[in-house]
Amino acid sequence: MVANHLEEESYLTSKKGISSWLFTLDHKRIGLMYLVSVMFFFFMGGLFAILLRMELWSAGETIVKAKQYNQLFTLHGAIMVFLVIIPGIPASLGNFVLPLQLGAKDVAFPRINLMSYYIYVVGALIALSSLFVGAIDTGWTFYTPYSITTDGGVVVMVFAAFVLGFSSIFTGVNFIATVHKLRAPGMTWFRMPLFIWGIYATAIIQIMATPVLAITLVLLIIERVFHVGIFDPQLGGDPVLFQHFFWFYSHPAVYIMILPGMAVISELITTFSQKRIFGYKAIAYSSIAIAVISFLVWGHHMFVSGQSELVGMIFSALTFLVAIPSGVKMFNWAATMYQGSISLATPMLWAMGFFLLFAIGGLTGCFLGTLSIDVHLHDTYFVVAHFHYVMVGGTFMAFMGGIFYWWPKMTGKMYNETMGVWSVILVVLGFNLTFFVQFLMGAQGMPRRYYHYLDQFQIYHQISTVGSFLLGFGFLFSVITLLVSLKHGKKAPPNPWHAATFEWTETASPPIEHNFHHQPICTRGPYEYDQIAKSV
């Protein structure tokens, strides 16, 4: 039996030729295609970030004019949000790992899965084509009435975000149906790995919030083209209504970004501690709690937009409420390591980096939830630093951790451990150098999206710029580490980390096209390290 299995080819080599990739219905291949696309756009967005930091080396013109600077930060934001962080973990790692962890042969709707990938590609191309119509300078939030009056390809970019929304919706529908209907025999809800819980909670937000964004963007396009007067104050409309609509989506979207990151971290911490996760149900439920409460906090982006004190009070209270489940997760992860058998391999180091940076990101969120403090900090670099700590320090660190964790499974190759460790060190150092000073500068009153700035901020800006180069180099080095492994890496065993979930225990590295030779049967929880059966 075993010998027969080894002869069957992996999903990577079972079919050949470019069209076997382009028209594949295999969730693993689609996941890889997403991964490559997302990484491509990550480096493009990163390039814009480096240009921004170079511009800010000195006040006034350093390398570009004010208009181009505004276009650069808009592109940086729009690409990173819509093309990188939102699809990032769910569409790439989620696609690859979720069916494997569930013991399923594929996602519930493989054709819709492929379709959502192509919708993503089309959306991305539309977004890039806005550059040729005239780069937009509205900021990624497209606030009205500025976005109605400024020139450039606003309609094209907004339409791109609209299209990308559908990709996100279809992915969400697919994952929910898969989790509900395609679990392996014996896999009850509380035997699911926490990664699945996180992706499941994410999918709920994706399908509930994204349609509202879609209609908001449609309204914006209609407003700009036909001047309907919904958002345009000159025609009797309400520009603040746009902010309500936009944040009703975009705040939950913040959790579309961070929940999958937390989901990855839950897997990493338990595996590399060889210990059952502490408070499984607390972590699972807290994901769902975050998903639900995240719909009720959008107003905290608008404390100074002229809403009443009462509304401000309610949103502030709800914002603090959503902080609790995130805090609980942090404590649970820490407790998981207690009395474990901890290995500081590269994926675990990414998780440690996440822990450090996300702690800072989360705690600085307390400043912004506190009403009177937020008045001073709103729209300053403090906010910029805060969300970079959460989005890059949180989500993206987890994303990298996940890639390094599942890389042997995806490619069948082990990367060089020393290079992996250095990647983490470079990124964590570069990141803190870039963004920590921005807390200081923001608290002292440096507004965001400023091309000119007062002299006193120059030293902070210069430290930040130096840091951004280190950070960029760190990410480049990480990718090089991975790419080198494709050619020179050792062959990966089926379960190099001694993990206890299906994708490691029940299938080879890389898996065969239909994932498993036999339908796996689930007889235990996902983190029972004592009971890992003999590997495949």
Partner 1 sequence: MVANQITKPNFPLADHFDSPEQQVDAGKLGMWLFLATEILLFGGLFVAYAIFHNLHPELFKAGHRYLDVKLGAINTVVLLFSSLTVVLAIHAAQKNKTSMVALNLVITLVCAVTFLVVKYFEYTHKFHAGLLPGYFFTNGEIPAPDQAHIFFGIYFLMTGLHGIHVVIGIIVLLWLLVRSLKGEFNEQYYLPLELGGLYWHLVDVIWIFLFPLLYLIR
Partner 2 sequence: MDSVKELLSMRLPVASTMSWLPEAASTAASSVDWLFYFLIWSCVGLFLLVVVPVIWFSIRYRRKIEGQKALSQVDHNVKIEAAWTLLPCIYLAFLFYWGFIGFVDLYTIPFNAKTLRVIGQKWNWTVQYPDDDISVSGQGAVIGVPLGQPVQLIMSSQDVIHSFFVPNFRIKQDVLPGRYSSIWFQATKIGEFPVFCTEYCGDEHSKMLAIIKVMPQDEYQEWLTKKKGEDVGLPPLELGQKLYTQKACNACHTLDGTPKIGPSFKGIYGHMTQLEGMAAVKVDDGYIRESILEPQAKIVKGYPPVMPTFKGQLSESDINALIEFIKSLK
CA atoms within 13 A on the CB side of 185: 4
454 binds, among partner 2, partner 1, none (CB under 5 to 8 A by kind): partner 2
CA atoms within 13 A on the CB side of 261: 32
414 binds, among partner 2, partner 1, none (CB under 5 to 8 A by kind): none
In the bound state with partner 1, the residue whose beta carbon lies nearer, of 176 and 391, is 176
CB-CB contact of 381 with 441 (8 Å): yes
- CA distances to 28, 43, 143, 512 from 411, rounded to whole Å, are 11, 21, 43, 12
| Number of residues in contact with partner 2 under rule CB under 8 A | 92
Q: Could you say which residues in the range 420-439 bind partner 2, by CB under 8 A?
A: none
Describe the crossing of helices 458-488 and 417-443 by its angle, rounded to 10 degrees. Answer: 160
Least distance in angstroms from the C-beta of 286 to partner 2: 10
Q: How far is CA 229 from the centre of its chain?
A: 35
Least distance in angstroms from the C-beta of 215 to partner 1: 3
Least distance in angstroms from the C-beta of 494 to partner 2: 16
CB-CB contact of 297 with 432 (8 Å): no
In the bound state with partner 1, the residue whose beta carbon lies nearer, of 109 and 473, is 109
- CA distances to 122, 161, 170 from 115, rounded to whole Å, are 10, 16, 8
233 binds, among partner 1, partner 2, none (CB under 5 to 8 A by kind): partner 2
| Interaction mask 209-238, partner 2, x per CB under 8 A | ------------------------xx----
Least distance in angstroms from the C-beta of 216 to partner 1: 6
Q: Could you say which residues in the range 257-286 bind partner 2, by CB under 8 A?
A: 273-280, 282
* Residue 4 in the binding site for partner 2 (CB under 8 A): no
Binding site for partner 1 (CB under 8 A): 104-110, 112, 169, 172-174, 176-178, 180-182, 207-208, 210-212, 214-216, 218-219, 222-223, 226-230, 232, 235-238, 241, 245, 514, 519
369 binds, among partner 1, partner 2, none (CB under 5 to 8 A by kind): partner 2
Q: Could you say which residues in the range 121-160 bind partner 2, by CB under 8 A?
A: 137-139, 143, 145-146, 149-151
Least distance in angstroms from the C-beta of 524 to partner 1: 21
* Amino acid (1-letter code) at residue 417: E
Strand, coil or helix: what is 370?
coil
In the bound state with partner 2, the residue whose beta carbon lies nearer, of 218 and 304, is 304
Q: Which one among 356, 414, 466, 484 touches partner 2, defined by CB under 8 A?
A: 356
In the bound state with partner 2, the residue whose beta carbon lies nearer, of 21 and 146, is 146
| Interaction mask 324-343, partner 2, x per CB under 8 A | x--xx-xx-xxx-xxxxxxx
Q: What contacts 536, CB < 8 A, 6 or more positions away?
A: 5, 494, 505, 506, 507, 508, 517
In the bound state with partner 2, the residue whose beta carbon lies nearer, of 211 and 496, is 496
Q: How far apart are CA 4 and CA 60, in angstroms?
A: 68
In the bound state with partner 1, the residue whose beta carbon lies nearer, of 60 and 186, is 186
In the bound state with partner 2, the residue whose beta carbon lies nearer, of 119 and 265, is 265
Task: Report DSSP letters for 109-160, one per residue.
Answer: -HHHHHHHHHHHHHHHHHHHHHHHHH---STTTT-TTHHHHS-SSHHHHHHH
Q: Which one among 344, 480, 486, 533 touches partner 2, defined by CB under 8 A?
A: 344
Q: Could you say which residues in the range 469-528 bind partner 2, by CB under 8 A?
A: 498
In the bound state with partner 1, the residue whose beta carbon lies nearer, of 84 and 230, is 230
In the bound state with partner 2, the residue whose beta carbon lies nearer, of 330 and 476, is 330
174 binds, among partner 2, partner 1, none (CB under 5 to 8 A by kind): partner 1
In the bound state with partner 1, the residue whose beta carbon lies nearer, of 177 and 532, is 177
Residue with structure tokens 């093309």?
A: 83
Least distance in angstroms from the C-beta of 164 to partner 2: 22
In the bound state with partner 2, the residue whose beta carbon lies nearer, of 34 and 358, is 358
CB-CB contact of 260 with 205 (8 Å): no
Residue with structure tokens 């963007």?
A: 217
498 binds, among partner 2, partner 1, none (CB under 5 to 8 A by kind): partner 2
In the bound state with partner 1, the residue whose beta carbon lies nearer, of 176 and 492, is 176
- Token pair, residue 365, equals 């969120």
Q: Which one among 206, 210, 294, 380 touches partner 2, defined by CB under 8 A?
A: 380
Q: How far apart are CA 213 and CA 193, in angstroms?
A: 30
- Token pair, residue 416, equals 């060089």
Q: What contacts 327, CB < 8 A, 6 or more positions away?
A: 362
Closest Cα partner for 262 from 237, 289, 238, 240? 289
Strand 490-491 and strand 413-414: pairing? Answer: antiparallel
360 binds, among partner 2, partner 1, none (CB under 5 to 8 A by kind): partner 2
DSSP state for residue 275 in the 8-state scheme: S
> 404: how many CB neighbours lie within 10 A of its CB?
24
Q: How far apart are CA 34 and CA 88, in angstroms?
A: 8
Q: How far apart are CA 117 and CA 167, in angstroms?
A: 7
* Residue 535 in the binding site for partner 2 (CB under 8 A): no
Q: What contacts 475, CB < 8 A, 6 or more positions away?
A: 42, 43, 46, 427
